[in-house]
Amino acid sequence: MMTYIVQTTNLTKQFDKYAAVTNVDLKIKEGEIYGFLGPNGAGKSTTIRMLLGLMKPTRGQVTIFNQDLHKHRQTILRQVGSLVENPSYYPHLTAKENLEVLRMVLDVPKARIMEVLEMVRLTHVANKKVKGFSLGMKQRLGIAQALLHQPRLLILDEPTNGLDPEGIIEIRQLIKKLAEQGITIIISSHLLSEIDQIATTIGIIAKGKLIYQDSISAMHALAKNRLGIRTNDVNQTQQIIGGEVEGDVVYCTKYNNRQVATYIAQLVTANIDVYRVEEEKHSLEAIFLQMIEEAEHK
Amino acid sequence: MMLLMKAELAKIKRKGFLFLAFLGAFGVVAMQMVNYGVRKEWLMQQNPDYWQYYLLNIQSFIPIAIVLGGIILTIQITNVEEETNAWKQQLALPISKKSLYLAKFLVIFVYLILAASLLFLFTLMYGIFLDFKQPIPFLTIVKESFLPVLATLPIIALQLWISVVSKSQTIAITIGIVNFLLTYSAFSFPEWVPWRWPYLGQPLFNIGLGVVAGALLLIVGMYDFYRKDAK
Ligand SMILES: Nc1ncnc2c1ncn2[C@@H]1O[C@H](COP(=O)(O)OP(=O)(O)O)[C@@H](O)[C@H]1O
Ligand SMILES: [Mg+2]
C-alpha cells in the first residue's frame, strides 16, 4: 500500500450554499515539493486552511502523517510549519520578539531563533520592529516562523505573492534548499511558471475541484508538440505516414525536419493533395489554461 | 496555561498595559486628591468616620474605572491578533483553541487584579497622607479595591467574546462604549442589572452573581470561539 504524508478524501467546504472546495483528494508523498496551482478564488487557501485545522471541512477527511487531523490535531501540528495567505506578525514587536512569542508556545531552544533568522537572511534586522519591514522581509519572517520548530511538513500559501522578481528567486532558492533537507513542502500559487520551476508534483485546482494531480514530468509529457497534416484523403495519408486521425487531420508526434520532408515527398508521390502542414505547439501554459477553462464551463 | 499566558504577555509588550493599570488606579485616587485638596475642611464635616467617608468617595469612581480599563485591555489583547490576522498563525500552532481563549481572559484578569492592588496601595497612601488620626480600616480598603473586579467579570467576559468572534473590531468598540455608558449610568438601575453589580450595593449578591455569570459567559464565549472557523 502506498502511503502519503498528506492525504485528503472527499474534502469539501461550503460557505452557506457556495461550494469553495468540492471532493478534493490530495495525495502527497514524503519529500515532494507539491505545487498547488489554481487561479485566484479556486479554493487553494480554503483547502490549506482545512489541512491546518483552521477550518472544519463540511465533508471529508484530512490525514497527515497517517493520522486523522480531526483526532490528532495537536500532535500533527507539532510537525507542521505554515504560512497562510498574508504573513501574520505583531507589528509593534521586533523580528526576534515575534519569533520569541512562538518559541514559548512551541517550546524550542532559544538558539533556534537566530538559526531561522539566518536561514531567511534577516539577522541584520533581528532587533528592528517588523512594522517597518518590506513585504519581502515580512514574507521571509513568515517562513522563519514556519520553520522555528523544524517541521517535517511545510505549507506555504502563495509565499511569493506581491514580491519583486528578486524576492521571488530568493524564496524559490530557500524552498529548494529546505526540500534538499528532506522537508516535504506544499506550495500554492496562481502562477504556473512559479510551480513549474520548483515543484516535483503538481495539483491543479479550479472552481474548488482538483482537476489534475501528477508528477511535473507527466504534466510536461502532455505538453509535447505535434505535427498536423491536412490532405484531401485522411485514410491514405495515415497509411503512409502513420500517426493518429482527428477529424480531417493526421497528427504525428515523432518528427524532425528530415522526416517532414520525406512525408511530404511521399504524399506528393502518392498523388495526395497536401493542403496544410502545421506544427501545433502545446505549451504547458496552454494546457493549463485549457484545463481551467474546461473546469469552469462544466 | 502558564506558557500561553507568558506568550500573551510577550505579545502585548509595549502596548501600555502596565501604564493603563497604573493610570486607572491612580486616576481614581487622584479624583479624591483634587476633591480633598480643594475642600478637605468641608468634607471632614460630612461624616465623623473620616476613613469611611473618604472610601465612599473613592468607591463611586471604581466601577467606571474598572469597566473602562477592562474593556480597553480586552480590545487591545484581541487587536494584536486582528492587525495582521495573527489568529490563523496562532491557531495553526499545536495548542488548544480553548486554552488560547482562556489565556487571554486570564491575562486581562491578572491586569485587573494588578490595577486593584495599585488602587489599594494608592488609597491607603493618600488616606494616610490626609492624616485622619483614626484607625486605618485595612480590611475595608482591601474589599473596596478587589471585590468590584469580581462583579465586573460578566462585562469583561462578554466583551472578550464579542471582540474575538466579531468580524470587525468596530463592533467590539461600539459595544464597549455601550457597556461603559451603562455602567456610568447604572445608579438609576435596579440591583439585578449586571452593570449595577460593580457598585457593590449588595456585595454578596453582586459578587456571587458576578462570578457565576462571568464564568458562564467565559465558557460560552470559549466554546463559540472553538466552534467557529479561524478568521
Ligand atoms: N470565510 C469565507 N466565507 C465565504 N466565502 C469564502 C470564505 N473564504 C473563502 N471564500 C470563497 O471561497 C472561494 C475560494 O477562496 P480561496 O480558497 O481563498 O481561493 P484561493 O486561495 O485559491 O484564491 C472564493 O470564492 C472565496 O470568495
Ligand atoms: Mg489564496
The predicted structure's pLDDT at residue B213: 96
Helix (H, G, I), strand (E, B) or coil at A279: strand
pLDDT digits (tens, 9 = 90+) for A270-280: 999 999 998 88
Min Cα distance A88 → chain B (Å) is 5
Q: Quick count: other Cβ atoms within 10 Å of Cβ A110?
A: 11
- Minimal Cα distance from B100: which residue of A? A105
* CB contact (8 A) between residue B93 and residue A106: yes
**Ligand 2 midpoint to CA B68 (Å):** 39
The predicted structure's pLDDT at residue A291: 86
The predicted structure's pLDDT at residue B188: 86
**Ligand 2 midpoint to CA A42 (Å):** 8
- Report residue A288's pLDDT band, with 50, 70 and 90 as the boundaries: confident
pLDDT digits (tens, 9 = 90+) for B162-207: 999 998 889 999 999 999 999 999 888 888 899 999 998 888 999 9
**Ligand 1 midpoint to CA A34 (Å):** 21
Residue with the smallest CA separation from ligand 1 atom 5 is A15
Give the residue ranges of chain B where pLDDT is below 50.
Answer: none
Distances (CA, A) of B46 to B29, B40, B136, B141: 19, 10, 18, 20
Q: CA torsion A27→A28→A33→A37, rounded to 10°?
A: 30
What does the alpha-carbon distance between residue B219 and residue B158 come to, in Å, rounded to a whole number?
Answer: 10
**Does residue A298 belong to the interface with chain B, where contact is any CB pair within 8 Å?**
no
- pLDDT exceeds 90 at position A52: yes
* CB contact (8 A) between residue B88 and residue A97: no
What does the alpha-carbon distance between residue B144 and residue B137 come to, in Å, rounded to a whole number?
Answer: 11
Residues in A touching B229 (Cβ below 8 Å): 49, 54-56
**Does residue A8 belong to the interface with chain B, where contact is any CB pair within 8 Å?**
no
What does the alpha-carbon distance between residue B162 and residue B150 come to, in Å, rounded to a whole number?
Answer: 20
Q: Are B211 and B152 in contact (CB under 8 A)?
A: no
ipTM of the modeled complex: 0.90
What does the alpha-carbon distance between residue B96 and residue B77 come to, in Å, rounded to a whole number?
Answer: 18
Q: Could you tell me whether strands A226-231 and A209-215 are parallel, antiparallel, or unpaired per DSSP bridges?
A: unpaired
- Minimal Cα distance from B13: which residue of A? A93
* CB contact (8 A) between residue A92 and residue B14: yes
**Ligand 1 midpoint to CA A298 (Å):** 19
* CB contact (8 A) between residue B86 and residue A91: no
- pLDDT exceeds 80 at position A282: no
- Report residue A287's pLDDT band, with 50, 70 and 90 as the boundaries: confident
B25 secondary structure, DSSP code: H
Kindly list the protein residues that place their beta carbon closer than 5 angstroms to ligand 2, a single-atom ion: A 44-45
The predicted structure's pLDDT at residue A252: 87
* CB contact (8 A) between residue B93 and residue A54: no
Residue reference for cell 506544499: A186
Min Cα distance A292 → chain B (Å) is 28
Residues in A touching B14 (Cβ below 8 Å): 92-93
- pLDDT exceeds 90 at position A220: no
- pLDDT exceeds 60 at position A176: yes
User: What is the CB-side half-sphere exposure of residue A55 using CA atoms within 13 A?
Assistant: 22
**Does residue A97 belong to the interface with chain B, where contact is any CB pair within 8 Å?**
yes
Which ligand minimizes its atom distance to the CA of A190?
1
Q: Closest to B92 (Cβ–Cβ): which among A84, A104, A107?
A: A84
Which residue, among A133, A77, A155, A137, has the nearest Cα to B90 in the 3D structure? A77
What does the alpha-carbon distance between residue A126 and residue A130 come to, in Å, rounded to a whole number?
Answer: 9
Which residue, among B52, B203, B15, B229, has the nearest Cα to B127 in the 3D structure? B52
Q: Quick count: other Cβ atoms within 10 Å of Cβ A15?
A: 12
**Ligand 1 midpoint to CA A18 (Å):** 10
Q: What is the mean pLDDT of chain A?
A: 92
Structure-model confidence comparison of residues A52 and A288, the more confident one: A52
Q: Could you tell me whether strands A249-252 and A226-231 are parallel, antiparallel, or unpaired per DSSP bridges?
A: antiparallel
What does the alpha-carbon distance between residue B60 and residue B193 come to, in Å, rounded to a whole number?
Answer: 17
pLDDT digits (tens, 9 = 90+) for A243-274: 888 888 999 888 888 888 998 999 999 999 99
pTM: 0.89
The predicted structure's pLDDT at residue A241: 87
Percent of chain A with pLDDT over 90: 73
Min Cα distance B168 → chain A (Å) is 17
The domains of chain B are located at 2-230
What does the alpha-carbon distance between residue B28 and residue B59 come to, in Å, rounded to a whole number?
Answer: 8
What does the alpha-carbon distance between residue A261 and residue A245 come to, in Å, rounded to a whole number?
Answer: 20
**Ligand 1 midpoint to CA A276 (Å):** 47
Q: Closest to B88 (Cβ–Cβ): which among A54, A78, A93?
A: A54
Which ligand minimizes its atom distance to the CA of A49?
1
Residues with CB under 6 A from ligand 1: A 15, 20, 38, 40-46
Q: Which residues of B touch A (CB under 8 A)?
A: 3-4, 6-7, 10-11, 13-15, 80, 83-89, 91-96, 229-230
Which residue, among A155, A149, A124, A191, has the nearest Cα to A50 in the 3D structure? A155
Bridge partners of A63, per DSSP, are A7, A68
* CB contact (8 A) between residue B92 and residue A78: no
* CB contact (8 A) between residue A78 and residue B229: no
Residues in B touching A53 (Cβ below 8 Å): 91-92
B149 secondary structure, DSSP code: H
Which ligand minimizes its atom distance to the CA of A21?
1
Residue with the smallest CA separation from ligand 1 atom 3 is A15
Q: How many residue pairs bridge chain A and chain B with CB atoms within 8 Å of each other?
A: 82
- Report residue A203's pLDDT band, with 50, 70 and 90 as the boundaries: very high
